[in-house]
Amino acid sequence: MSLISEHEINKKFSWLAEQIRCIKASCVSSGQNVELFEIQLPEVEEDASNPLVVIAGLINSLPNTLIQTNQIPLFKTKVFDTYYTIGLNKKPIDTSVGLNSEISILSSELIVVSYEKEEGVYINTDLSPLTLGGYIEGEPITPLEGLTQSQFNDKFFTNIILPTISFNTNSQIIEKGADFAQTINIVFAPNDAEATGATFSLEKDEVEVSATQSTEFEAINVVSNFTLQGFVSYAANSVLSSGIISTPLRTITQRLKFWYGALSAIPTNSTQVRAIANDVWDNVNTITLETGTTEKIFVVARPTSGGTQASLPAQDITNNVSYTYDFESTIDVVLPNTTTEEYRIYVLEVDNAYTTNAQHLIQI
């Protein structure tokens, strides 16, 4: 006898899962429950080079058997020394199989759900391709010893809740050279997983920096981006196998700033630049400066690393007037880690303060 190859049966669980999913959807309005409809076929004592061809013949020889919309047919038989549970590789829709039915089943339309040497035990140690009921993605569908018919059916309709993980860090931007400090707590909700003995890990750039659930994390003088991610490893219990889950990856990004605003004098040093009231990160293309009604000098400070333009085009969108902010000077601005970054100062000076506030849209 030639057993079915793994290639031929590797989709059997996906099939059954999809059958249940489709039928559940179609039965919502009618209130029907999904049923696994078992049909016993005659047993065949002789060896067979292709058991599916034999089983297709057995199905086509049945007395007409109606398969209702809410039913998933599972054909059971024994060929030589092996018991098979076979499904149809298509969604059943109020049709019949057997003699005098409208359809004739081909061996290519059959899929092996399980095969075993002991009657009444389902054995399928393939890894589940998805999570459905008590079947968990990436875990063997049955243990080596298999499941009884009742256990196999019940497991599909068991609502197992997988563990979850989160932590209190979000992706964010900080100024180049600044420190990043935070108490990072990894929150683990075991649900149906084993809670006792869970271990925690916090990684920075994929390297573990802490093995505790709560970490006083600090990065000093940040001048390059880095990532943070939390992990929990949990042991097996009677419901779920052991496993590792992780939080989403968070990125801490360092950037320089643009400073801009209405001033009484053009800044000449780092302290005066950093004192300008408005700032944005240097990844924007435009800024909107509010003129106010007091000052006549309007300033933009931008890092030289972003370009050395002689002027910045601007539009007074309140009064529909075009302006240019002209380059004035460079200033070494002190960053939080006491290093300096060269900034270019751009200035627009008008003769009189605005009588009503206007907005300047400036191309950076």
**CATH code at 178?**
2.60.40.10
225 shares its domain with 353? no
Number of domains composing the chain: 3
Task: Report d(CA 163, CA 189) in Å as an integer.
Answer: 6
Q: Of 38-47, 144-153, 218-227, 264-273, which range is least confident?
A: 144-153
% of the chain residues with pLDDT over 70: 86
- Residue 212 covered by a domain: yes
18 shares its domain with 56? yes
52 shares its domain with 138? yes
20 shares its domain with 96? yes
pLDDT of residue 332: 98
240 shares its domain with 262? no
148 shares its domain with 219? no
Strand 340-349 relative to strand 172-175, pairing? unpaired
Q: What is the pLDDT of residues 169-194, one digit of tens each?
A: 999 999 999 999 999 999 999 998 99
Task: Report d(CA 146, CA 121) in Å as an integer.
Answer: 6
Q: What is the pLDDT of residues 280-336, one digit of tens each?
A: 999 999 999 999 999 999 999 999 999 999 999 999 999 999 999 999 999 999 999
- Residue 235 covered by a domain: yes
Question: Which whole number is the average pLDDT over 135-143?
Answer: 77
Looking at the chain, how many residues does it have? 364
Ramachandran category for residue 221: left, alpha or beta (phi over 0 → left; psi -120 to 50 → alpha): left
Here the tokens at position 125 are: 């140690």
Looking at 156, 178, 199, the residue that finishes a domain is: 156
261 shares its domain with 249? no
- Residue 307 covered by a domain: yes
> Which residues share a beta bridge with 327?
346
pLDDT of residue 151: 77
Name the residue range of residue 288's domain: 257-363
Task: Report d(CA 54, CA 196) in Å as an integer.
Answer: 51
17 shares its domain with 136? yes
Q: Of 58-72, 102-116, 127-141, 333-347, which range is least confident?
A: 127-141
273 shares its domain with 217? no
pLDDT of residue 5: 37
Residue 32: HSE in the Cβ half-sphere, 13 Å Cα cutoff: 16
Residue 38: HSE in the Cβ half-sphere, 13 Å Cα cutoff: 11
Looking at 111, 137, 156, the residue that finishes a domain is: 156
356 shares its domain with 329? yes
- Whether 259 shows a pLDDT value over 80: the answer reads yes
24 shares its domain with 148? yes
- Whether 138 shows a pLDDT value over 60: the answer reads yes
Question: Which whole number is the average pLDDT over 195-211?
Answer: 96
Question: Which whole number is the average pLDDT over 261-277?
Answer: 98
Question: Which whole number is the average pLDDT over 79-87?
Answer: 82
132 shares its domain with 23? yes
pLDDT of residue 31: 57
Looking at 227, 254, 281, the residue that finishes a domain is: 254
- Residue 1 covered by a domain: no
Q: Where in 179-219 does DSSP place strands (E)?
A: 180-189, 199-204, 207-210, 214-219
- Whether 28 shows a pLDDT value over 70: the answer reads no
